[in-house]
Structure 1
Amino acid sequence: MRAPMPTAAALFILTGCVATPELRPSPGAQVLQGDANAAKAATDGIVLVADGTAWKGTPKNLERSFTPVYIQVENRGDRPVRIEYGAFSLVGTVSRFRYAALPPLSLNDTLNSVQQGTGGSGSAAGFSSGWGLGRYRRFGVGSYMGPFFPDPYYYGYQCQEPLPTQDMLQKALPEGTLEPGGTMTGFLYFQGVGHREGQVVLQARLVDAESGEPLGTLDIPFQVRKG
């Protein structure tokens, strides 16, 4: 007797055909020449570049649980800049809800996964323009500090392997002090926005690493597209 053909719903579940949200620069964003997926903003000698499509590591379906954004911060000014996760957020254009950037080592607690991540692609994601590292005092990838309000959709589309993976830790933006003339790149992992927002703004509120004085706020608008 022939086995019954699987239904469309069963195929959907088995293959994991869930739309994967991506951030693309909104109309009016200052898009990088030669890279339509990345946009930039600048103030007082600080240049922020961001790409919401750059994740190519393990897990491949990370965007179903979190929103990874690859950024570069370049300090062309004369004051040291403090780089920390609390300075970055995604703000819903309509909801005005602020989605936090999560320290990578907190992701295992967030999704009840084991402490040690697995998986490594051996490849590094980056922008087509080719960015290098500069003067930077590294503090590390950080531990979880502060409350986390999870997206209720997380638990339907979790990655199947424990988080964070080695790729996520190795490619994360480290916290520390970016000295004048320096450049730092890496991924920020935000609370998922794909099932709540149609447009968001990446916001960076940077301060002087020595005095704590605000250096300005950088905004880059993005559209949320479901691939």
Structure 2
Amino acid sequence: MRDSNTGITVILTTGAWDGSPADLEREFTVVHALVANMGRAAIRLAPGDLELRDERGFHYELLDAGGSFRRARPGETSGLQGRPESEPYPTGADDDYEYIEASGTDIAASALPWGYLEPGTQMRGFLYFEELDTAHAAKLVWHFFDANGGQLVDLRFDFALAT
């Protein structure tokens, strides 16, 4: 989905997990996200800016693996960071998410990291939510904000469960 006013493009894919643990999608709803910022201002990627609800209104919490990124400093090849204790990252508009402990797995290394995405750049990684375990449709709303907290756009993605 692309928002022409902000230049934000998001592509979500399910069924793409091939890491460890291999059965992760039996326990959680796992979504691969590609976010591209082709706009003019940095955008915030933060765990509190996503909400997943089914058609009954039930909320499924995001499970935050704690990765973050920042602009690479001169001479660095990466701005990727580790757990939130190593460097603060934006938490977003809501604090209705949980941390997921993922030692000994690919969960943290594969997660979409949080930070400010500069114009002309993209970031990819996995999002983890509580398992959608009903036959009801669901909607993911991603609230996008600029680096100063100004709301840019809400992008909505419909999910349907196949059994």
Gaps of 5+ in 2: 73-78, 86-90
Spell out structure 1 runs of 4+ moving beyond 6 A.
Answer: none
- 2:142 alignment counterpart: 204
RMSD value, Cα? 2.5
Within-5 A mapping of 1:130-141: 138=80, 140=82
Query: Higher strand fraction: Structure 1 or Structure 2?
Result: 2
In structure 2, C-alpha distance between the alignment counterparts of 1:208 and 1:138, rounded to whole Å: 20
Deviation sequence 1:195-219 (CA, Å, 0-9, x none):
234211121101011x210010011
Q: Structure 1 residues 196, 89: CA separation in 2 closer, same or farther (over 3 Å shift)?
A: same
Give the superposition deviation at 1:60: 1.3
Within-5 A mapping of 1:1-227: 40-43=1-4, 44-92=6-54, 94-104=55-65, 138=80, 140=82, 142=84, 146=95, 163-193=102-132, 195-209=133-147, 211-226=148-163
TM-score, length-scaled by structure 2: 0.76
CA contact (8 A) 1:199 1:223 kept: yes
In structure 1, C-alpha distance between the alignment counterparts of 2:42 and 2:149, rounded to whole Å: 10
In structure 2, C-alpha distance between the alignment counterparts of 1:196 and 1:140, rounded to whole Å: 34
Code of the aligned partner of 1:171: S
Identity across the alignment (%): 32
In structure 2, C-alpha distance between the alignment counterparts of 1:59 and 1:41, rounded to whole Å: 32
- 1:116 alignment counterpart: none
CA contact (8 A) 1:45 1:77 kept: yes
CA contact (8 A) 2:34 2:125 kept: yes
Give the superposition deviation at 1:51: 0.3
Give the match's secondary structure for 2:144.
strand
Gaps of 5+ in 1: 1-39, 106-134, 150-161
Give the superposition deviation at 1:91: 1.8
Give the match's secondary structure for 1:63.
helix
Q: Which has the larger radius of gyration?
A: 1
CA contact (8 A) 2:47 2:97 kept: no
In structure 2, C-alpha distance between the alignment counterparts of 1:204 and 1:82, rounded to whole Å: 11
Give the superposition deviation at 1:70: 0.4
Q: Structure 1 residues 148, 80: CA separation in 2 closer, same or farther (over 3 Å shift)?
A: closer
